[in-house]
Amino acid sequence: MKIADLPNQWETGKSCDEERKHEYEMTVTLEDAARLRALAELYPDYSEEELLSDLLNAALSDLPDPGSKR
């Protein structure tokens, strides 16, 4: 899943990962918090945590596997 595909996915009511097993506490910049809040307003069926999880999942999916050579 690419990050650019997420808005389409959110509009159709789907989430990247239905099963969320780990919780993380993190600090974000005020700008990122505002952008996340704006996304939550655009997609009210999703919590900020769900949106953040989908964004992180998509970003990590774009990276090469840690064990693979580039």
Number of domains the chain is built from? 1
Is 20 part of a structural domain of the chain? Answer: no
pLDDT per residue over 14-36, tens digit each? 665 556 678 889 999 999 999 99
Is 66 part of a structural domain of the chain? Answer: no
3-state secondary structure the chain: CCHHHHHHHHHCCCCCCCCCCCCCCCCCCHHHHHHHHHHHHHCCCCCHHHHHHHHHHHHHHHCCCCCCCC
What was the pLDDT predicted at 10?
A: 84
Is 70 part of a structural domain of the chain? Answer: no
Give residue 34's domain range: 30-60
Query: Is 51 within 8 Å of 43 (Cβ atoms)?
Result: yes
Is 13 part of a structural domain of the chain? Answer: no
Res. 7: pLDDT tops 60: yes
Is 45 part of a structural domain of the chain? Answer: yes
